[in-house]
């Protein structure tokens, strides 16, 4: 969706024997970078390819079923790993018990092509590779083998080592238009795809919007905006936050609470940054949360800067596993103090 021109260019390059063997797709998070790479692979492996995959031939069906022998998807998060450790790239004699034990890139590439065509390795969120992993991948990037494509995707290319980046041909995709976001989500989230209020929250990224929608961002934003308008005590806000309908699954109730507080802080930081944009003179309609901020008091430059800092500290403390209730209390104490000061003045 929205990245068709790039795909057709890459398929044409493959047809002409100019595709190269390592590419990096960058762009904002949630705009469909990994989906684009999957489609690229599908179109390379299709029996009628390279080109738009037919979705009917046995190769296409195998890709769709996740059982094509010449396609390896390296996706840490989908297996419950935060980090792409070296075990995803190379088999090691010593492997910690809870490390990745599935197929490694090196093992995959040692096999002969199952269908005598392309062999494709897709790496999702390449920024999750630590330095050791990246160094191990370098070896493969230097000698990938015949008709091998390594395709990486990340929204944070700066997390890659220069040595790795210099071996990749970089392509960048940009945010989608509102119409494209709406079309991309028409099936998965029809109510959301048809609502201008929601579409405005997408910022050109269907992935972002879907996440916000599943977590009930609408209700969370109402709660936040109240907190930026009038003093709310932390226990009462926490109680309301716990009642929000969104999907915040965690392994324990504490983890779920942390997910909720983190979500509130992330949205809150977005709103606060938008208030900075308004204060800097941007037009209300050009700022995502502009309309929402209309009846919120705007504290002085210094007070806003300090409040932003307090919220950022809170966001960091939640990641450091500090008690989310305590973090919420600290943030609200400060936010309330600005509102009370204003009421007194």
Q: Which residues bind Zn ion (CB under 5 A)?
A: 46, 53-54, 57, 60
C-beta closer to Zn ion: residue 54 or 308: 54
| SS3 state at 130 | coil
C-beta closer to Zn ion: residue 66 or 80: 66
Minimum CB separation of residue 64 from Zn ion in Å reads: 10
CA 247 vs CA 20, 216, 263, 321: distances in Å: 42, 8, 11, 20
Minimum CB separation of residue 234 from Zn ion in Å reads: 56
Minimum CB separation of residue 332 from Zn ion in Å reads: 56
Which residues lie closer than 8 Å to 180 by C-beta, 6 or more apart?
1, 2, 206
3-state secondary structure 69-115: CCEEEECCHHHCCCCECHHHCCCCCCCCCCCCCCCCHHHHHHCCCCC
d(CA 106, CA 88): 9
The count of residues in the chain is 345
C-beta closer to Zn ion: residue 43 or 324: 43
C-beta closer to Zn ion: residue 62 or 128: 62
Minimum CB separation of residue 51 from Zn ion in Å reads: 9
Minimum CB separation of residue 151 from Zn ion in Å reads: 19
C-beta closer to Zn ion: residue 119 or 307: 119
């Amino acid at each position: 969706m929205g990245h068709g021109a790039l795909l057709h260019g890459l398929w044409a390059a493959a047809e002409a024997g100019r595709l190269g063997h390592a590419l990096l797709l960058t762009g904002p998070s949630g705009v469909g970078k990994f989906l684009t790479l999957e489609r690229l692979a599908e179109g390379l492996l299709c029996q009628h390819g390279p080109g738009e995959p037919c979705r009917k031939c046995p190769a296409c069906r195998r890709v769709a079923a996740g059982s094509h022998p010449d396609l390896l998807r390296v996706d840490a998060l989908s297996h419950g790993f935060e980090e792409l450790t070296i075990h995803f790239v190379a088999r090691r004699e010593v492997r910690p018990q809870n490390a990745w034990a599935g197929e490694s890139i090196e093992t995959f590439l040692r096999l002969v092509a199952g269908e005598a065509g392309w062999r494709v390795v897709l790496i999702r969120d390449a920024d999750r590779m630590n330095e050791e992993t990246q160094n191990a991948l370098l070896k493969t990037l230097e000698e990938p083998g015949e008709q091998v494509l390594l395709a990486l995707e990340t929204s944070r290319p700066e997390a890659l080592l220069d040595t790795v980046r210099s071996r990749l041909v970089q392509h960048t995709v940009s945010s989608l238009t509102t119409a494209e976001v709406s079309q991309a989500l028409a099936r998965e989230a029809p109510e959301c795809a048809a609502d201008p209020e929601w579409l405005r929250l997408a910022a050109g990224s269907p992935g972002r919007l879907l996440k916000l929608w599943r977590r009930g961002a609408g209700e969370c934003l109402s709660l936040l905006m109240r907190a930026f308008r009038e003093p709310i005590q932390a226990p009462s806000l926490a109680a309301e936050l716990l009642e929000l309908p969104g999907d915040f699954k965690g392994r324990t109730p504490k983890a779920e609470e942390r997910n909720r507080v983190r979500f509130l802080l992330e949205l809150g930081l977005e709103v606060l940054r938008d208030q900075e944009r308004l204060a800097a003179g941007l037009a209300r309609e050009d700022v995502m949360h502009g309309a929402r901020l209309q009846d919120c008091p705007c504290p002085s430059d210094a007070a806003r800067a300090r409040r932003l800092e307090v919220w950022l500290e809170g966001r960091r403390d939640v990641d450091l596993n500090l008690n989310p209730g305590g973090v919420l209390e600290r943030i609200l104490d400060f936010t309330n103090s600005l509102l009370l000061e204003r009421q007194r003045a």
